[in-house]
Amino acid sequence: MTAFITRRILQTLAVIVVLSYVFYYLMSLMPGDPVDMMVASNPKITAEDVARLKSLYGLDQPTYKRYLNWVASMSQGDLGYSRTYRVPVQELMGPRLWNTFLLSFISLTLSIAIAVPLGVISALRPGSRTDYFMNLFSFAGISIPSFWLAIVLIILFAVKFPLLPAGGTQTIGGEPLGFWADLMDRSFYLVLPVLSLSIQQIGRFSRFTRSAMLEAMRNDFIRTARAKGLSRRVVIWQHGFRNALIPLITILALSFSGLFSGAILTETVFAYQGVGKLVYDSIIGNDYNVAMISLVISVSMVLLMNLVADILYGFADPRISYQ
């Protein structure tokens, strides 16, 4: 197991290095570097200004040299400087990553907690009224565009019935009221974005759970377990659900890999201060340092969660070995 994990971590590091260079190179191919964009918006920038800024930003260097410089600063713990916001990247991204993590983690946990039992119930009564109702709910959840749902939620709960804030991360400008009051305040602002994200995820996860569970419950060993006189609870959870876990682990691990990537639509509509829009803007604005850090985080999370999924497969199904 230790050798397997070590090997996978080394592979992960190699993939991160390769992908980061590919991404850096692709970004450099995009038309218009930060100085070109500055020239387009300020008619008074002269040819001398252009040459000076390109040299200052290192844009007159070949891509591989710029990439190596970036790697060198990264290895010294310097994540660089955002040329769009004019602040060090760690200061810019730190709070936003935490906000995104909170939003994604809460909505994902809530979705799993609701969707998995719903999917199991639905699978145990295929074709029943409960199953039809849950299918309807799931399909509605999957089909409704999240930004539309977000706007409807704002109109309903912030404009029509002003119970919740229309957007933001926390109350602005108020005096600190203590830990619990601040926690309540943050939670208040999370309700609508979490709801908007969760409804779609619940639909998706409950469909996956239902189909995995249906498949598992059709197996011969389920019939055998029942014939042995095992209780319904044991048959469902120990034999059925455990076998349904393999596909679920894959889906859930991939979903957890997006914990730090941000939900750009939801964050934008709710003016939630997460990384989603920041990453989008940094790619569009050629803010290399911000874009590269977000890429590294995103790739690392995907690879890490895949590793976690591989380890969990072994726990769910003892036939899987790590030789």
Q: Whose Cβ is closer to another protein: residue 119's or residue 165's?
A: 165
Contact yes or no for 266/146 (Cβ under 8 A) = yes
Question: Exposure of 62 by Cβ count < 10 A (0-12 exposed, 13-18 middle, 19+ buried)?
Answer: exposed
CA atoms of 288 and 37, how far apart (whole Å): 14
Contact between 48 and another protein by CB under 8 A: the answer reads yes
Contact between 125 and another protein by CB under 8 A: the answer reads no
Contact between 159 and another protein by CB under 8 A: the answer reads yes
Least distance from C-beta 65 to another protein, angstroms? 15
CA angle 275, 276, 278 (to 5 degrees): 60
Contact between 316 and another protein by CB under 8 A: the answer reads no
Least distance from C-beta 106 to another protein, angstroms? 19
Least distance from C-beta 166 to another protein, angstroms? 4
| Residue 152 Cα to chain centre, angstroms | 23
Give the range of 2-10, 16-24, 148-156, 216-224 binding another protein by CB under 8 A: 148-156
- Cβ neighbours around 267 below 10 Å, total: 26
C-alpha distances out from residue 132 to 126, 142, 236, Å? 8, 15, 21
Q: Whose Cβ is closer to another protein: residue 211's or residue 268's?
A: 268
Q: Whose Cβ is closer to another protein: residue 70's or residue 81's?
A: 81
Tokens of 238: 């120990």
Contact between 107 and another protein by CB under 8 A: the answer reads no
Least distance from C-beta 129 to another protein, angstroms? 31
Contact between 169 and another protein by CB under 8 A: the answer reads yes
CA angle 75, 297, 86 (to 5 degrees): 70
For the stretch 279-282, contacts whose Cβ atoms lie closer than 8 Å and that sit 24 or more positions apart, written own/partner, are: 281/84, 282/82, 282/84
Contact between 165 and another protein by CB under 8 A: the answer reads yes
271-290 residues near another protein, rule: CB under 8 A: 271, 273, 277-278, 281, 284
Least distance from C-beta 291 to another protein, angstroms? 13
Distant-in-sequence, close-in-space partners of 35: CB < 8 Å, separation ≥ 6: 50, 53, 54, 57, 59
Pick from 120, 154, 216, 244: which binds another protein (CB under 8 A)?
A: 154
Contact between 147 and another protein by CB under 8 A: the answer reads yes
Give the range of 31-39, 110-118, 198-206, 311-319 binding another protein by CB under 8 A: 31-39
From 209, 199, 205, 204, select the one nearest 121 (Cα to Cα): 209
Give the range of 32-40, 118-126, 239-247, 253-261 binding another protein by CB under 8 A: 32-40
Contact between 29 and another protein by CB under 8 A: the answer reads no
Contact between 98 and another protein by CB under 8 A: the answer reads no
First-to-last C-alpha distance (Å) of the chain: 8
CA angle 274, 278, 281 (to 5 degrees): 155
C-alpha distances out from residue 291 to 80, 84, 159, 180, 298, Å? 11, 11, 35, 35, 10
Q: Whose Cβ is closer to another protein: residue 67's or residue 81's?
A: 81
Contact between 151 and another protein by CB under 8 A: the answer reads yes
Burial 24-60 (b: 16+ CB within 10 A, else e): beebbeeeebbbebebeeeeeeeeeeeeebbeebebe
Contact between 59 and another protein by CB under 8 A: the answer reads no
Binding site for another protein (CB under 8 A): 30-33, 36-54, 56-57, 81, 83-88, 91-92, 95-96, 145, 147-148, 151-152, 154-155, 158-160, 162, 165-169, 172-173, 265, 268-271, 273, 277-278, 281, 284
